[in-house]
Amino acid sequence: MTKRNTGVRGTRAVLGSVAVLALCAGAAQAEMVFTPGEGGFNWDSLDAFGASHDLSGQTLSIFGPWRGDDQQLVETVLAYFEEATGATVSYASSETYEQQIVIDTEAGSPPNIAILPQPGLIADLVKKGYVTPLGNETADWLRENYAAGESWVSLGSFEGKDGTQLYAFPYKIDVKSLVFYVPENFEDAGYEVPTTMEELKALTEQIAEEGETPWCIGLGSGGATGWPATDWVEDMMLRVQPPEVYDQWVTNEIPFNDPKVIEAIDEFGWFAKNDAFVNGGAGAVATTDFRESPAGLFASPPQCYMHHQASFIPTFFPDGTEMGVDADFFYMPAYEGKDLGQPVLGAGTLAFITKDSDAARAFIEFLQTPIAHEIWMAQSGFLTPYKEANAELYGSAPLKKMGEILLDATTFRFDASDLMPGAVGAGSFWTGMVDYVGGKSAEDVATAIQKSWDANK
C-alpha cells in the first residue's frame, strides 16, 4: 500500500464490516472498518503518526496468539498502520505459538514483532538475547499514559544482558477482579452492590443468615482442576498485602509458606470453606466444574447470588443472557481499612521486537497512539488502560465498565500462576488448592507447594 501525502483522512472509501481473513500467514487484508474522520476516534493521532513515518516498500512481520475472530479483529487494526505508513504487514499465528516463537528465534528466523500472553516466556527469550530493548522513552510513556503506569512498566521489564530494561509493551488486557451477579436477584432481596471488602463480607454473612447461599464456586477443569482458586488467592493477596509482597511471592523471594501468603489463602478459605457460604457446601467446590458453577445465579429461586471469575465467564452463562440486564458484575473490592488502593488482577498480551527494523520500531510507536486501541475497543473483546483512548467508543456497556475498572486501578498485577514456573503455577498450586478446599490447612498446602518449587529450581 502506498503512503499518501494527503494523510489518512484522504484515503479511499472503506467498508463497514470486518473482512473474512485467512488464518495462515500473509499480508493484512482487512479493510479499515471505521471511516477516518468520522465518529469519536482520535484520528488526529493517526494523521500525526502517518506524517512522521514513511515506510513505503518496507514489510513488517508479526507473530501472535490471536486466531479466528481475534485474528480478524487485530488485522482491522493493522490496516490502519499500513495505510498510515505505506508498510506491508503480515500477521501469522499457530496453535503452538509458544513453542513456535522459541523455534523461530533460536533458528535465527524470528518475526519483527512477537506478541505473547506469557511474561515468563518473554523473560526467557530476553535472557537468551533474542529481544530488543524498547528504551527509556517508551517506559516513561507507559508511566505517563497508562493508568497504574508503573505496574505496566514493571510487567514489561526483564533482566537482560545489560540489566533490567523495558522489553515488552502491554496491549490488550483482560480483567479478573470481577464478581458476577443477577441484578434482579439483588433487587428482589434488597441487596446493594458492595464497594469495600468489609461490605462484601458483611453481605456474604447477611445472605447466609437469611437462609440463602451467597456464592457459587467451582474449581473443576479436567486436568487443570484447581486453577479458579488461584485467581481467588491472587486477588486476595493484592487485598491483604502491598504489591511488593505479591511480586516477592511470584518470584519466590518469599517462600510460598510465608505467613503473608498463608493469610491470602485463608482469605479465600473464608468464602470457600464455609458450608453456609457456597452452593452445595464446601465439599462441592472442588468437584463442581467452573463452566457449570455460574448456573446457580440463574436458577429460580437463586442457588447463589455471587460468582467470582474473569471477564470471559459470560461465555458459559445461559443462552440469551444479556450482560448489563440479565447479569452484571462489580469490581472485587479492596479493604477500606488496609489503604492498598484499588488493585486489579488480570492478564493480557505483550508486544516485543525480535527482529529489529524501522517498521518494528514504528509499530511500537503506533501502539502509543489512541487509534491503535480505539479501533479494536470499538468492536469487541478488547480492554485498555490507556488514559487517552476514548472510553465512549467501547463496543458494549460491559466492556466500557471493565475498561473503567482498569482506568481506576492504582495497581495492576498479572496472574501470579502464569508467572510462576509451570510445575508450580500450572501444577502444585492447582492441586494444592484442591487439597485446601478438601480440608487441609493453608500452611500444610503452602509448604507442599514450596517443596515442589524447590524441587524444580
Q: Do 90 and 155 fall within a single domain?
A: yes
Which residues have a Cβ under 8 Å from the Cβ of 439 and sit 6 or more positions away?
none
Q: Tens digit of pLDDT per residue, the chain (457 long)?
A: 333 233 332 332 222 323 323 333 444 456 789 999 999 999 999 999 999 999 999 999 999 999 999 999 999 999 999 999 999 999 999 999 999 999 999 999 999 999 999 999 999 999 999 999 999 999 999 999 999 999 999 999 999 998 999 999 999 999 999 999 999 999 999 999 999 999 999 999 999 999 999 999 999 999 999 999 999 999 999 999 999 999 999 999 999 999 999 999 999 999 999 999 999 999 999 999 999 999 999 999 999 999 999 999 999 999 999 999 999 999 999 999 999 999 999 999 999 999 999 999 999 999 999 999 999 999 999 999 999 999 999 999 999 999 999 999 999 999 999 999 999 999 999 999 999 999 999 999 999 999 999 998 8
Q: Do 248 and 279 fall within a single domain?
A: yes
Q: Is residue 262 part of a domain?
A: yes
Q: Is residue 1 part of a domain?
A: no
HSE-CB of 10 using CA atoms within 13 angstroms: 8
Please say whether the beta carbons of 170 and 152 come within 8 A.
Answer: yes
Across 244-260, b (16+ Cβ under 10 Å) vs e yields: ebbebbbebebbbbbee
C-alpha cell, 447? 509448604
C-alpha cell, 322? 444479556
| CA–CA gap between residue 159 and residue 342 (Å, rounded) | 28
Q: Is residue 2 part of a domain?
A: no
Q: Do 293 and 397 fall within a single domain?
A: no
Q: Which of 69, 62, 139, 124 is nearest to 97 (CA)?
A: 62
| CA–CA gap between residue 352 and residue 133 (Å, rounded) | 8
Long-range CB contacts for residues 426-430, cutoff 8 Å, separation at least 24: 426/224, 426/227, 427/452, 428/452, 428/453, 429/226, 429/230, 430/224, 430/225, 430/226, 430/227, 430/229, 430/230
- C-alpha to C-alpha distances, 35 to 8, 52, 71, 79, 80, nearest whole angstrom: 10, 21, 20, 12, 10
Run of H or E residues at 89? strand 88-92
User: Residue 10: its pLDDT value, please?
Assistant: 33
- What CATH number did the domain enclosing 449 receive? 3.40.190.10
Q: Do 301 and 404 fall within a single domain?
A: no
Q: At which of 372, 388, 409 does a domain end?
A: 409
Instruction: Tell me what percent of the chain is helix, strand and coil, each rounded to the nearest 5.
Output: 45, 15, 40
| CA–CA gap between residue 221 and residue 398 (Å, rounded) | 26
Q: Do 327 and 388 fall within a single domain?
A: no
| CA–CA gap between residue 420 and residue 54 (Å, rounded) | 42
User: Residue 4: its pLDDT value, please?
Assistant: 29
Q: Do 230 and 377 fall within a single domain?
A: no
Q: What is the pTM of this model?
A: 0.91
Please say whether the beta carbons of 211 and 222 come within 8 A.
Answer: no
Q: Is residue 3 part of a domain?
A: no
3-state secondary structure of 180: strand
Q: Do 298 and 368 fall within a single domain?
A: no
User: Residue 30: its pLDDT value, please?
Assistant: 65
| CA–CA gap between residue 357 and residue 55 (Å, rounded) | 11
Q: Is residue 173 part of a domain?
A: no
Q: For the residues of 253-279, what is the DSSP string, one character each?
A: SS-TTSHHHHHHHHHHHHHHT-TTTBT
Q: Do 157 and 242 fall within a single domain?
A: no
3-state secondary structure of 215: strand
Q: Which of 277, 264, 289 is nearest to 449 (CA)?
A: 264
Run of H or E residues at 209? helix 197-209
Alpha-helical runs (H) found in 35-115: 43-51, 69-85, 97-106
Please say whether the beta carbons of 432 and 413 come within 8 A.
Answer: no
Q: Do 314 and 228 fall within a single domain?
A: yes
Please say whether the beta carbons of 111 and 63 come within 8 A.
Answer: yes
Q: Is residue 401 part of a domain?
A: yes
Beta bridge partners of 116: 350
Q: Is residue 45 part of a domain?
A: yes
Domain that holds residue 125: 8-167+348-409
Q: Do 252 and 376 fall within a single domain?
A: no
Residue 400: count of CB within 10 angstroms of its CB: 16
- C-alpha to C-alpha distances, 122 to 119, 128, 167, 400, 417, nearest whole angstrom: 5, 10, 9, 29, 15
| CA–CA gap between residue 313 and residue 288 (Å, rounded) | 15
Q: Do 300 and 388 fall within a single domain?
A: no
The number of folded domains in the chain is 2
Q: Do 186 and 158 fall within a single domain?
A: no
Q: Is residue 202 part of a domain?
A: yes
Which residues have a Cβ under 8 Å from the Cβ of 281 and sit 6 or more positions away?
275
